[in-house]
């Protein structure tokens, strides 16, 4: 009996040892790569923002002119997000919102939605997604031009019922065999535009220190 | 490790025991990610890297692991290595990381990794084990690449699309448009295309192997036994 208990303990200790070792390796890799990962994600985001905000549309420092906006059901966000504001000669030009489409084919699709001051979309880009490679991933600009269908669209131009993929009776094209992904994106962009409509003045309000600066 | 052993291990991984065509292990990425050459080869190489590392490290620690808990320990080590590779790719190969997405963590669930660890690395020393993992991974990469090429040409009429995501914007011109103005053939892109393509590849491999055997004429018995399988592929 004693021998069994001892060998069991030994086995358990062995497993614990490997678990600790594995955790140590993982943790150190995480800390070693974390800054680089954050930096490359930030760089990628900047690249995306400059795609949806044409250079002749602003003369301010977009990355600094930002506004923390609370989680919103219309944006699909569950946390505070950052809105970046582009201004031309002090006048509001474009606001870049983060939005989440929660109902992609395999989970959330993170988007940035850039809206011009007049309510037209300046552009939409996918920040991250887990859609099926070769099937739902044509929402990425690198893979197809599909995401550009939003350029210039606005709520004034399309009534609410048109903000659907063609299969559901709306105005937006999609590829056969992969409707779930574009459906989720169209819905998220539509809701982001509604959010913009409701909060336009707040979104372009100048940075004032009265708002809490902590996240 | 002598030359004969090296040759045997490489031959096993790439041809005789090819994980994609013969052991038929690791089908999850085979079917899902092989819609283009770039996707297939990238994931194949990531898998080969994980297999090399996991087989090598498990060969080192195999004598310290009690037999009863070897599988959990092996799985733990494989999962850690996959996550490490994922972090490294996220940090230093961001484009490729975005392309492969969910399929990098899924390498953990690829049974070929655990299969080689259990069948080979737990019984052999570090160098042969690492080489075995590498050769098997390379065998899988080759199948993923060929299958990806077949599906991409049939499905989209291109080759190497998306290579700029893996190698940077400079590689954008490398995309070959094999069939200009191609409308696309969805079946090849969808999972059934992968099944059909894989079936054809297995049939082709069996046919080649069979021909080789008949030429050698050393063992006629297994050759006749394998023929119906090859015919139906």
Contacts of A101 (CB under 8 A, 6+ apart): A76, A108, A109, A111, A184, A185, A187, A188
Confidence of residue A209 (pLDDT cuts 50, 70, 90): very low
Q: Which of A195-199, B94-98, B206-210 has the lowest mean pLDDT?
A: B94-98
Distance from CA of A64 to the nearest CA of B (A): 25
For the cut 90, the answer to whether the pLDDT of residue A170 exceeds it is no
B-interface mutation test, from A134, A136, A140, A146, most B Cβ less than 10 A away: A134
| Dihedral in degrees, nearest 10, Cα atoms B131, B135, B137, B139 | 180
Nearest in space to B53 (alpha carbons), one of B144, B116, B143, B1? B116
Average pLDDT over residues A43-70: 84
Identify the pLDDT of residue A43.
81
Hey, what are B62's tokens? Answer: 């195999």
Main-chain dihedrals φ then ψ at residue A68, nearest 5 degrees = -85, 120
CB A101 within 8 A of CB A111: yes
* Whole-number pLDDT of residue B219: 54
| pLDDT surpassing 50 at residue B224 | no
User: Residue B64 above 70 pLDDT?
Assistant: yes
Question: Please, which residues have CB within 8 angstroms of residue B175's CB and are 6 or more apart in sequence?
Answer: B158, B159, B160, B161, B162, B163, B164
Bigger pLDDT: B161 vs A33: A33
The secondary structure of B191-221, three-state, reads: HHHHHHHHHHHHHHHHHHHHHHHHHHCCCHH
Q: What is the DSSP string of B99-137?
A: HHGGGTGGGGG-HHHHHHIIIIITTS-HHHHHHHHHHHH
Confidence grade of residue B227 (pLDDT, cut at 50, 70, 90): very low
Instruction: Report the pLDDT value the prediction gives residue B228, as an integer from 0 to 100.
Output: 43
Chain B interface mutation, best of A35, A133, A175, A177, highest count of B Cβ atoms under 10 Å: A133
Cβ distance of A134 and B39 shorter than 8 Å: yes
Query: In this predicted structure, what is the pLDDT of residue A207?
Result: 65
Q: Residue B172 above 80 pLDDT?
A: no
The ipTM estimated for the assembled molecules is 0.72
Report how far apart the first and last C-alpha atoms of chain B are (Å, whole number): 37
> Between A26, A37, A106, which is nearest B102 by CB?
A106
What percent of chain B is predicted at pLDDT more than 70?
A: 88
* Chain A residues in contact with B77 (beta carbon < 8 A): 18, 22
Please judge whether B73 and A18 are an interchain contact, meaning their C-beta atoms are less than 8 angstroms apart.
yes
Q: Which residue has the higher pLDDT, A6 or A63?
A: A6
Q: Do A134 and B64 touch (CB under 8 A)?
A: no
The number of CA neighbours under 13 Å toward the Cβ of A208 is: 7
Query: Taking residues B149-170, what's their average pLDDT?
Result: 78
**CA-based angle B110:B113:B119, to the nearest 5?**
130
B67-118: pLDDT as tens digits: 888 899 999 999 999 999 999 888 888 877 877 777 888 888 888 888 889 9
Q: B66 and A11: CB-CB below 8 Å?
A: yes
Instruction: Verify whether the Cβ–Cβ distance B69 to A25 is below 8 Å.
Output: no
Separation of alpha carbons B57 and B78, rounded Å: 10
Q: Is B197 on the interface with A (CB under 8 A)?
A: no
What residues in A contact B66, CB-CB < 8 Å? 10-11, 14
Question: pLDDT digit string (tens) for A23-35?
Answer: 999 999 999 999 9
Quick one: average pLDDT of B154-159?
81
């Amino acid at each position: 009996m004693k021998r069994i208990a001892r060998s069991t303990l030994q086995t358990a200790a062995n497993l614990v040892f490997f678990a600790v070792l594995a955790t140590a390796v993982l943790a150190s890799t995480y800390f070693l790569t974390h800054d680089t990962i954050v930096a490359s994600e930030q760089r990628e985001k900047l690249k995306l923002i400059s795609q949806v905000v044409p250079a002749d549309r602003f003369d301010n420092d977009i990355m600094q002119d930002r506004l923390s906006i609370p989680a919103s059901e219309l944006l699909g966000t569950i946390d505070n997000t950052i809105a970046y504001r582009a201004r031309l000669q002090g006048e509001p030009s474009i606001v870049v919102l983060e939005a989440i489409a929660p109902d992609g084919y395999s989970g959330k699709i993170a988007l940035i939605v850039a809206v011009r001051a007049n309510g037209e979309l300046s552009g939409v880009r996918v920040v991250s997604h887990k859609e099926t490679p070769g099937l739902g991933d044509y929402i990425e600009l690198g893979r197809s031009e599909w995401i550009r269908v939003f350029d210039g669209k606005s709520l004034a131009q399309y009534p609410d019922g048109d903000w659907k993929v063609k299969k559901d009776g709306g105005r937006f094209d999609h590829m056969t065999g992969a409707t779930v992904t574009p459906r989720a994106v169209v819905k998220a962009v539509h809701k982001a535009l509604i959010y913009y409509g409701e909060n336009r003045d707040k979104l372009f309000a100048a940075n004032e220190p009265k708002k809490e600066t902590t996240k | 490790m002598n030359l004969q052993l090296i040759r045997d291990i490489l031959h096993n991984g790439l041809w005789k025991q090819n994980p994609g065509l013969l052991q038929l292990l690791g089908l999850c990425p085979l079917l899902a990610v092989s819609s283009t050459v770039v996707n297939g080869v990238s994931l194949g190489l990531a898998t080969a890297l994980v297999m090399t590392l996991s087989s090598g490290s498990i060969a080192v620690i195999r004598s310290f692991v009690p037999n009863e808990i070897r599988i959990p320990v092996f799985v733990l080590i494989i999962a850690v290595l996959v996550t490490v590779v994922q972090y490294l790719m996220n940090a230093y190969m961001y484009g490729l990381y975005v392309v492969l997405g969910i399929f990098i963590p899924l390498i953990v669930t690829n049974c070929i990794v655990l299969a080689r660890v259990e069948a080979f690395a737990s019984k052999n020393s570090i160098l042969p084990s690492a080489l075995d993992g590498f050769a098997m991974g390379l065998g899988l990469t080759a199948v993923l690449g060929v299958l990806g090429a077949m599906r991409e040409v049939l499905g989209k009429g291109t080759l190497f699309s998306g290579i700029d995501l893996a190698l940077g914007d400079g590689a954008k011109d490398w995309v070959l448009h094999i069939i200009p103005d191609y409308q696309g053939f969805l079946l090849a892109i969808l999972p059934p295309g992968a099944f059909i393509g894989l079936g054809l590849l297995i049939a082709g491999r069996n046919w080649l192997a069979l021909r080789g055997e008949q030429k050698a004429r050393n063992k006629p018995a297994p050759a006749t036994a394998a023929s119906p399988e090859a015919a139906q592929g």
